[in-house]
Amino acid sequence: MIASVQSSDPLQKYTISAPGINATFIPYGARLTNLYVNDKNAEPQDVVLGFDDPADYLRNDQTVHNYFGPIVGRYANRIKNGTFTVQGVTSHIPQNENGGRDTLHGGKIGYDQRNWTLVSANSTSITFSLLDLGFEGFPGNVITYATYTVSSGPSWTSRLVSLPLDEPTPIMLANHVYWNLGAFVDAAGSTVLNNTLHMPYAARYVEINNIEVPTGAIGTVKGNFLDFTSPKQIGRDIESAIDNCGYNCTGYDNAFILDRPRYSGPESTDISMLTLSSNSTGIQMDIYTNQQSLQIYTCDNTNGTIPVKQSQQHNGGTKYVEKYGCIVIETQQWIDGVNHPEWGQDQYQIYTVDSEPAVVFARYDFGIVGEC
């Protein structure tokens, strides 16, 4: 057993492992800090960004607040004007982005800055819980369990289960992991521009304004820089993505809609929704999820001030994360769907005491390009 008694230290590291994979977490934000898988040379590589010293997560949250590796919620992504109405009751959530014009990732102190409780842990799995007592003005109380498991394959599975305890409320959680499958092993691996991204079922996306809040329109990716329905290097069209990630920003920060094929269900986890690979390491990752959207952010705003972890420094190579040095992939429902009933997202975003729980399932399968 890793933990037989409750630890009171939110920065205590816990590592779980299985053949070909090991992952480390801290209770602060129920956060993933390290994830090692083998590269094409059978060498273990840490493929997620973060900090060597867990205390740096707190320091980062109090300054630039990058959301390295935690669960974000109670409502991930953006809420227009920080306001929504559920069953006739209007709620106002702190507007913590764009000069107070929207709410990002649950408000000023979201789930990412909460000290989660360690519930259970063994060599391959760990569970945290969080009792949300109406944090940030969200209606009602919610309890969430986050269970992380590693298995041979190798795979990492994340299961987030949330239960409203009294009032109707929107719930939309997501893991906010910064990936670099190149693991900074060489110059090409220091960014994700040479990574190949494939989202075969992402033919539509949610259109946004210049502060990245949905306009209500749904666009199609065919024939433009957002089209990853066939495998494509991330950097191929990125220079065409002008003002795509906010005003005066070039890159990707988009909510892609997942339209599964007719032989699959709207929440089925039977087929991969995303494949990402790096030539530098040969590592490939496939994501299976029950969610209906993927938010893709290509670290358009990193600027060489965030240090690379010691585990990712190779032979005097990159020591700081540069622009496009990583990619965030959030498995979630449609951004700001709580304010767009015309999208039909209520059944996936609004929960009550007598509804099914809110469940976010995501499995990340790893392998070597050409061998998967």
Q: Give catalytic residue positions.
A: 176, 330
Q: CA-CA-CA-CA torsion for 32, 37, 39, 41, nearest 10 degrees?
A: 140
Residue 172's identity, in one-letter code, is M
Q: Which two tokens stand for residue 46?
A: 């840490």
Q: Helices H, strands E: what count in the chain? A: 2, 29
Q: Which two tokens stand for residue 56?
A: 């740096």
Residue 111, CA distances (Å) to 17, 143, 186 in order: 25, 11, 35
Q: Compute the Cα dihedral for 35, 54, 118, 69 and give only its sign.
A: negative
Q: Which two tokens stand for residue 133?
A: 């007592």
Return the residue matching tokens 């990732």: 105
State residue 238 phi and psi, 5-degree precision.
Answer: -65, -30
Among 68, 66, 276, 283, smallest CA distance to 184 is for: 283
∠ CA 42-284-219, rounded to 5°: 165
What does DSSP assign to residue 303? -
Radius of gyration (C-alpha) of the chain in whole angstroms: 19
Q: Which two tokens stand for residue 30?
A: 């129920």
